[in-house]
Structure 1
Amino acid sequence: MSSDATPDPYAEPIAFGSRMQLLRERRGMSRVVLAGLLGRSPAWVKQVEKGGIGAPGLDTVLQVAEVLRVRNLAELTGRPEPRVDLFVGPGHPRLAAVRAAVDHLPLVTEREAPPVPHLRARLAKAWSARHRAANHRDVIGALLPDLIRDSELAVRQARRPEEWRAAQAVVAEVYSLAQFFVAYQPDSSLLWRVAERGMMAARQSGDPHAIGVAAWLMAQAHRDSGPGHYDAADAVALETARFLEPLLPDGTDDVRAVAGALAFEAGYTAARRGEAGTAWRYWDSARAVAERLPEAYYHPVTSFSRGAMGAHAVTVAVELHSGPEAVRQVARADADAIPSRPRRARHRIEEARGYQLDGRPDLALATLAQAHEAAPETITYNGYARRIVLEQSESKVTARRRQAAELAARIGLLAA
């Protein structure tokens, strides 16, 4: 190791402040930026890092973990037990089978690939099952291995260019489904393989809808990788939106919906940056697209629709760390307008974040319980939900602490 390499925070026992500084520097983040994201002064950050202030309370530790995208609290606290992984959920029992299907690309086979229309019908059923299921990862995890192998085989056995492009579009959508399964599980390299294969297949298909969906998911993968990837998230979302723009007047509702979803993704990333004006401007653009869609329309992959715009507004507000605005948007949003159970659970989590920001922890916990009822696997794999539950499990209010502990047990938050 070179003398100027960043030290390993596990190498020897060191104070919280020193760990925070090491992890901040690994992110390439200045004290000024970290202070701004924490709502603190740069002097406070410096004092903590230099040991002038002791380790802060749990709520601040969790906020630091969120900003620095620390996946395991032990990286900040130096305490390996109990192990709490905030941003990555537990490995799903079906993860190994899905990974094996992604990694296994045989060059020789005597098996005949299913026809593309047959694969499309299976995909449609898979998306429908995902939206209906409470444990959606279990459902699609059972379907994905065969879908991945069969769609890849269809590409290899295509005899004409148009058959090959159609098969590539199916592969792209299969990997889009796979990304929903893999996200927030403990295999980031698999997530990127899935996202990149989906994007490559979509581009080779030449299908605007497939390209838009793959780009939408790729933008999310970049954004969730942290501030250093926000520019890449914007580049993917905005360049693809420009590609789709001339196609919209005569395009299908699906293509329009993907364009709207990409506009919102740009707003989401802007909100993560703290750029309120830009975030709401992109939200307005997405809403304008949604209003041109049929009232009952709901995109099967992105969940983009008229009814989802209220949920998107809540997300923008919580990403901007505006509790009062988030609660105002919660009151205007209609969760029942979201037919997908996992997407509705995700919206409930965003509502809970709004209540937490607004100093209403009891409402936050009650809303997380609603999220768990809608789709238990969504809350299990969501870092923000886990953070709220963990924070409230140490509340001084007995009833609140008990409620948080019960919810923590249901989602396996404190499992070693």
Structure 2
Amino acid sequence: MLSDGTPDPFANPLAFGQRLQILRTRRGLSRPVLAGLLGKSPSWLKQVEQGQIHMPKLPTVLRIAELLRVRDLADLTGDQSMHVDLFIGPGHSRLPAVKAAVNAFPLTADRLAPSPAHLQARLARAWAARHEAPNHREVIGELLPDLIRDGQLAVRQAETAADRRAAQACLSEIYSLSQFFVAYQPDSSLLWRVAERGMVAAQDSEDPHAIGVAAWLTAQAHRDSAHFDAADAVTSEALRYLEPLLPDSDDRVLAIAGALQFEAGYTAARRGENGTAWGWWDKAEKTSKKLPASYYHPITSFSRAIMGAHAVTIAVELRAGGESVRQAHKADAIAIPSRPRLARHRIEEARGYQLDGQAETALATLERAYEAASETIRYNGYARRIVLEETESKSPARRRRAAVLATELGLLAA
């Protein structure tokens, strides 16, 4: 038993239905909401939870795991032979070095810190490299340790209040870049450490853009942990702070406000709140139209070009297969200049095609995601779930195609 009096779903001999009910309750999802997202009736879900219906087939189990953000499939099934990480990818070879830099707080130094201007130039090159590289984790993983150490040093050696605020803004952005690297790797405590330090540095900087970016990433961390209320709280507070500044703000601040508006819609969609989700998407689209047509925010990817991809995400999270495909046909993927973001969009398209019953097209779209940025799809739980599901397909051709992709993603032994 746990301290709150609820059974531990990881302790045998709990049945599948009991594990499902406990995990659903912990995620704060009602039975009607989860059933609706699965395309099932609440009575069906109740019968599964009460053991009147046996464990569903693998495709349904994988969809339940996706909705409940179950990281190890065995945690849901209770079958210790089914240890499959869904929403945690493999540990990157550069993770230990990045972690060591985050964890270290040297109090002395035998060198001068670089200036904030120098750090900003390095950050700009790092963001550009991330957008251009298919192996973007490798690229930024190599750059991060020195950036983290130099950012920390710049804050410690700042001589004036203005210098310290500028250095904190740089350090906050370095932590933001770090969060892109750490996300979906097997060290959730490091992810939260990076997110919290990024927010503290941003607040100390008093820079609206830095605060907005830190809030955007913190909200994502909460949402991906199914802490929807916390995600909403961070997003709404950041928007309240930014909105009075928008009439006189530059494009960067306007873009981060638009990105936060979309995040509010994304969280609403994850909750199954159709009207709220599309309402926030509409607000974000209006904000995007205030930006120059060619503008592309280097951290959030917010822009006019990204709104089509965002519409696909909203439709997919609402489990609307037909609408997802319709939005995918409308979206201009070619206009997305970032390889990781393009790969992410392809994955969302694949989710839509699978929801619409177009499994062959979903696999083909995941192959295109792999071509765009292999390190994006390798760490993406949704892509991993679709590939695993298709390895059990009744179609031999689809099974073979999925098996090849599963091997490339490290889900199956080569």
Could you state the TM-score of these two structures normalised by the residue count of structure 2? 0.96
d(CA) in 2 for partners of 1:267 and 1:26?
Answer: 22
Structure 2 residue aligned with 1:35: 35
Which residues in structure 2 correspond to 1:10-409 (within 5 Å)? 10-226=10-226, 229-409=227-407
* Residue identity matched to 1:169: A
* Residue identity matched to 1:99: K
What SS class does the counterpart of residue 199 from structure 2 fall into? helix
d(CA) in 2 for partners of 1:128 and 1:398?
Answer: 41
Q: CA deviation at 1:21?
A: 2.7
Does structure 2 conserve the Cα–Cα contact (< 8 Å) formed by 1:352 and 1:365? Answer: yes
Does structure 2 conserve the Cα–Cα contact (< 8 Å) formed by 1:83 and 1:415? Answer: no
* Residue identity matched to 1:409: T
Q: CA deviation at 1:415?
A: 5.1
d(CA) in 1 for partners of 2:86 and 2:2?
Answer: 31
71-80 vs 352-361, which deviates more? 71-80
Distance change >3 Å, CA 39–CA 190, structure 1 → 2: same
d(CA) in 2 for partners of 1:412 and 1:331?
Answer: 30
Does structure 2 conserve the Cα–Cα contact (< 8 Å) formed by 1:82 and 1:414? Answer: no
344-353 vs 405-414, which deviates more? 405-414
d(CA) in 2 for partners of 1:210 and 1:18?
Answer: 44
Does structure 2 conserve the Cα–Cα contact (< 8 Å) formed by 1:48 and 1:54? Answer: yes
What SS class does the counterpart of residue 193 from structure 1 fall into? helix
Does structure 2 conserve the Cα–Cα contact (< 8 Å) formed by 1:230 and 1:269? Answer: yes
What SS class does the counterpart of residue 248 from structure 1 fall into? helix
* Residue identity matched to 2:322: P
Q: CA deviation at 1:295?
A: 1.2
Residue by residue, what CA displacement relative to the aligned partner does 1:59-115 show, whole Å, maximum 9, x if unpaired? 110111112221111112222335311111111111111111111011122222111
- Segments of 5+ residues of structure 1 without an aligned counterpart are none
Distance change >3 Å, CA 236–CA 121, structure 1 → 2: same
- Segments of 5+ residues of structure 2 without an aligned counterpart are none
Number of equivalences: 414
Residue by residue, what CA displacement relative to the aligned partner does 1:103-154 show, whole Å, maximum 9, x if unpaired? 1011122222111111111111100000000010010001001100100010
Structure 2 residue aligned with 1:7: 7
Residue by residue, what CA displacement relative to the aligned partner does 1:372-401 show, whole Å, maximum 9, x if unpaired? 000001000100001110111100011111
Residue by residue, what CA displacement relative to the aligned partner does 1:44-67 show, whole Å, maximum 9, x if unpaired? 223222322111111110111112
* Residue identity matched to 2:207: D
392-401 vs 245-254, which deviates more? 245-254
* Residue identity matched to 1:119: L
d(CA) in 1 for partners of 2:63 and 2:349?
Answer: 18
Distance change >3 Å, CA 230–CA 415, structure 1 → 2: farther
78-87 vs 135-144, which deviates more? 78-87
What SS class does the counterpart of residue 296 from structure 2 fall into? coil
d(CA) in 1 for partners of 2:3 and 2:309?
Answer: 49
Q: CA deviation at 1:294?
A: 1.0
Residue by residue, what CA displacement relative to the aligned partner does 1:174-225 show, whole Å, maximum 9, x if unpaired? 0000000011111111111100100110011011111111111111111111
Does structure 1 conserve the Cα–Cα contact (< 8 Å) formed by 2:255 and 2:288? Answer: yes
What SS class does the counterpart of residue 248 from structure 2 fall into? coil
What SS class does the counterpart of residue 247 from structure 2 fall into? coil
Q: CA deviation at 1:165?
A: 0.2
Q: CA deviation at 1:43?
A: 2.5
d(CA) in 1 for partners of 2:19 and 2:165?
Answer: 50
Does structure 1 conserve the Cα–Cα contact (< 8 Å) formed by 2:387 and 2:406? Answer: yes
Does structure 2 conserve the Cα–Cα contact (< 8 Å) formed by 1:84 and 1:414? Answer: no
Distance change >3 Å, CA 30–CA 335, structure 1 → 2: closer
Residue by residue, what CA displacement relative to the aligned partner does 1:291-311 show, whole Å, maximum 9, x if unpaired? 111111110100011111110
d(CA) in 2 for partners of 1:11 and 1:250?
Answer: 56
Q: CA deviation at 1:22?
A: 3.2
Distance change >3 Å, CA 2–CA 214, structure 1 → 2: closer
d(CA) in 1 for partners of 2:82 and 2:312?
Answer: 32
d(CA) in 2 for partners of 1:331 and 1:351?
Answer: 9
Q: CA deviation at 1:4?
A: 7.0
* Residue identity matched to 2:38: L
Does structure 2 conserve the Cα–Cα contact (< 8 Å) formed by 1:16 and 1:77? Answer: yes
109-118 vs 183-192, which deviates more? 109-118
Does structure 2 conserve the Cα–Cα contact (< 8 Å) formed by 1:94 and 1:142? Answer: yes
d(CA) in 1 for partners of 2:324 and 2:4?
Answer: 44
Q: CA deviation at 1:344?
A: 0.3
* Residue identity matched to 1:68: L
* Residue identity matched to 2:262: F
Distance change >3 Å, CA 196–CA 4, structure 1 → 2: closer
